[in-house]
C-alpha cells in the first residue's frame, strides 16, 4: 500500500543536518514536500524586522539549493500558516504534516490550533525539538517553578544529557509526490529592502547551512582558551558570531555542542578549556532566554519585575535623543561605533550591545522597549527571546538582571575594551586620527590635538548629548523615586525575579 505524502513545514530550522522533523519525514517512507510559509502576521505577534528579512531571503535561497542537490526543492507560499497548510494538504492528499517546535507563546498557541484542526481532519501531525538543548517545559527548579536566575538554571541543565547531533546521508532517495504544488518565486515574498541600506550585509555574512558550518569550524579551530577575555574585545574577532545562524536554525545548538565536544577527544576533558566552558555557557544564556519567554510571555512588552512598570522615564521632545542614539550621533564614541556597526552589518558586538543599551535606558532614560524595537528591526540575529532578555537585563527589570544602579560609563568601557581605539576608528572614521588617549573622550582633548586630527566638535562630530555624571545622578534619582514609600507598584500575574554572546 502506498504511503501518503508528508508536508515538511520549515520555519526557523532552515537546515538539512540535525533536523528531527526532516529525518522523521524521510523515515515515514512516502513522498516528502518541503514548504516554507511567509506569514506576514509575523512571529509571536512581531513582524519580522528588515535585517532579519534580508537574512531570511538568502537563507531560503540556500536551503532550496541544498534540497535541489537531493532531487527536491522548497515550495514557497505566502499567507496565514494554518490556511496555507490546509490548502496544501488538500491539494496533495497529504496524510501527515511534520515540523520542528518553536517556543514563543503566540507561536505555540497558533501551532496548537493548527494541530487540533488537522488532526480532526484525519491528518497525522508530529512536532519535534530541533531548536534547543532543553525544552522550556522540561526544566524547573526544586519548587517546580521556572528558574529566574541563570547560574542555577544552567547548573541544572548541565546535569542533563545532551542528545547527539545527527547527520543526514549525503546520498539518499528523496521520495517525490505525484504532483507538486505551485511555488512562489523567492522574489514574490518581497523580503529584500527597497532602499540600499544593506550594502554591508553581503560582505559580512553568508546565510545558509554552509555558511554556518564554515563559521563554526573557523571558530572552534582556534585556541578557545582565550575566549573568556577575547569575547569582550570589540576590536578583535573574539566571538563566534553564530547567533543569526542559530536563530534561523541553519545551525543547531546540538551541533555547536558536538563541535566543542570533539575538541575533548585528545584531552579527555569536557569542556576542553575554560574558554570552551564560557562559550557553552553563552549557548546556555540562549536556552535561558527561551525558558523565560516561554514561562513569562508578557515580557517582550512589559518588565518581569512589576515595579518597573512605573519607572519615571525622561521626556524626549520629537524623539531627538532616540534618533541620535539610533544614528550613532550621541557624541560618545564607543556608543556611536556600536550603533553604526549595527546599521552597516546588521550585528553588534555583545559587549557593545550592553554599553549602548545601558546608555539608552540610563543616560538618556528612554524606555528599554524603544531599544528592543530598534534592535528587532536592525539585527540579522533578532530573536524575540534573546532580545527581550538582553534589554530587560540591561534595564534592570528582568530575570537575573544587572542592578539598575549599575550604569556603564561609556568612556571607561571604551578605554577598557578598546584601549587602542581601533574599534572606534573603524566605525567612527571622523575620529580616526585621534590618539588613543583622546579617542574615547574627544571633548577632553586639547584644541590642537582636535585640529591636527581634523575633528571639529559640533561640526563633523557632535558634542555629547548628555553629561555622564549628571545623567548618572538623574538615573539614580529616578530609581529612588520608583522605590519611594507609597509609590504605586503595578502588579502582573507572574513571579518577580546578560545579554548573551549567542556564541
| Active-site annotation, residues | 282, 285, 313, 350, 368, 391
Number of neighbouring beta carbons within 10 Å of residue 273: 19
Number of neighbouring beta carbons within 10 Å of residue 384: 26
What is 244-286 written as a DSSP string?
A: HHHHTTSS-HHHHHHHHHHTHHHH--SSSSHHHHHHHHHHHHH
Which of 465, 437, 438, 451 is closest to 336 using CA atoms?
A: 465
Is 88 in contact with 114 (CB distance < 8 Å)? no
CA distance 25 to 228: 40
Q: Identify the bridge partners of residue 247 per DSSP, sorted by sequence position.
A: none
Scanning 396-496, the segments in alpha helix (DSSP H) are: 410-417, 422-427, 436-439, 447-453, 468-482
Q: How far is CA 252 from the centre of its chain?
A: 14
Q: Identify the bridge partners of residue 35 per DSSP, sorted by sequence position.
A: 9, 75
CA distance 453 to 442: 10
Is 371 in contact with 397 (CB distance < 8 Å)? no
Place of cell 528531527: 20
Q: Give kind and range of the element (H or E) at residue 338.
A: helix 333-345
Q: How far is CA 31 from the centre of its chain?
A: 34
- 121-155 core/surface letters (b: 16 or more CB in 10 A; e: else): eebebebbbbbbbbebeebeeeeeebbbebeebbe
Amino acid at each position: 500500500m502506498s504511503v501518503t505524502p508528508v508536508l515538511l513545514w520549515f520555519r526557523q530550522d532552515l537546515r538539512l543536518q540535525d533536523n528531527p522533523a526532516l529525518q522523521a519525514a524521510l523515515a515515514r517512507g512516502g513522498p516528502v514536500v518541503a514548504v516554507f510559509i511567509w506569514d506576514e502576521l509575523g512571529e509571536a505577534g512581531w513582524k519580522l524586522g528588515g535585517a532579519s528579512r534580508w537574512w531570511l531571503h538568502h537563507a531560503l535561497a540556500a536551503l532550496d539549493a541544498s534540497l535541489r542537490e537531493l532531487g527536491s526543492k522548497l515550495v514557497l507560499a505566502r499567507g496565514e500558516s494554518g490556511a496555507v497548510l490546509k490548502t496544501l494538504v488538500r491539494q496533495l492528499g497529504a496524510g501527515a504534516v511534520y515540523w520542528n517546535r518553536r517556543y514563543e507563546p503566540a507561536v505555540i498557541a497558533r501551532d496548537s490550533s493548527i494541530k487540533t484542526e488537522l488532526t480532526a481532519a484525519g491528518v497525522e501531525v508530529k512536532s519535534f525539538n530541533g531548536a534547543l538543548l532543553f525544552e522550556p517545559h522540561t526544566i524547573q527548579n526544586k519548587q517546580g517553578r521556572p528558574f529566574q536566575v541563570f547560574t542555577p538554571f544552567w547548573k541544572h541543565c548541565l546535569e542533563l544529557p545532551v542528545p547527539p547531533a545527527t547527520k543526514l546521508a549525503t546520498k539518499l532517495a528523496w521520495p517525490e509526490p505525484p504532483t507538486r504544488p505551485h511555488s512562489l518565486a523567492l522574489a514574490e515574498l518581497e523580503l529584500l529592502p527597497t532602499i540600499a541600506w544593506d550594502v554591508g550585509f553581503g560582505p559580512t555574512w553568508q546565510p545558509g547551512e554552509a555558511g554556518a558550518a564554515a563559521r563554526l569550524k573557523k571558530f572552534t579551530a582556534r585556541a578557545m582558551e582565550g575566549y573568556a577575555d577575547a569575547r569582550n574585545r570589540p576590536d578583535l574577532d573574539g566571538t563566534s558570531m553564530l547567533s543569526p545562524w542559530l536563530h534561523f536554525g541553519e545551525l543547531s545548538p546540538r551541533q555547536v555542542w558536538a563541535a566543542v565536544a570533539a575538541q575533548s577527544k585528545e584531552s579527555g576533558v569536557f569542556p576542553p578549556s575554560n574558554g570552551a566552558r564560557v562559550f557553552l555557557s553563552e549557548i546556555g544564556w540562549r536556552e535561558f532566554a527561551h525558558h523565560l519567554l516561554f514561562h513569562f510571555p508578557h515580557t517582550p512588552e512589559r518588565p518581569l519585575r512589576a515595579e518597573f512598570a512605573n519607572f519615571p522615564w525622561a521626556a524626549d521632545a520629537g524623539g531627538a535623543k532616540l534618533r541620535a542614539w539610533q544614528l550613532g550621533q550621541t557624541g560618545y564614541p564607543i556608543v556611536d561605533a556600536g550603533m553604526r556597526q549595527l546599521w552597516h552589518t546588521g550585528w553588534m558586538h555583545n559587549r557593545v550591545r550592553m554599553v549602548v543599551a545601558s546608555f539608552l535606558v540610563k543616560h538618556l532614560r528612554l524606555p528599554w522597549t524603544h531599544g528592543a524595537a530598534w534592535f528587532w528591526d536592525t539585527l540579522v540575529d533578532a530573536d524575540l527571546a534573546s532580545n527581550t532578555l538582553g534589554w530587560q537585563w540591561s534595564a534592570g527589570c528582568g530575570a537575573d538582571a544587572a542592578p539598575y544602579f549599575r550604569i556603564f560609563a561609556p568612556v571607561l568601557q571604551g578605554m577598557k575594551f578598546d584601549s587602542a581605539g581601533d574599534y572606534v576608528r573603524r566605525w567612527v572614521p571622523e575620529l580616526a586620527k585621534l590618539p588613543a588617549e583622546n579617542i574615547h573622550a574627544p571633548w577632553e582633548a586639547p584644541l590642537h590635538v582636535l585640529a591636527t586630527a581634523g575633528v571639529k566638535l559640533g561640526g563633523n562630530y557632535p558634542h555629547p548629548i548628555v553629561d555622564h555624571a549628571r545623567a548618572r545622578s538623574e538615573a539614580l534619582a529616578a530609581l529612588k523615586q520608583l522605590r519611594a514609600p507609597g509609590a504605586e507598584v503595578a502588579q502582573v500575574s507572574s513571579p518577580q525575579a546578560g545579554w548573551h554572546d549567542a556564541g
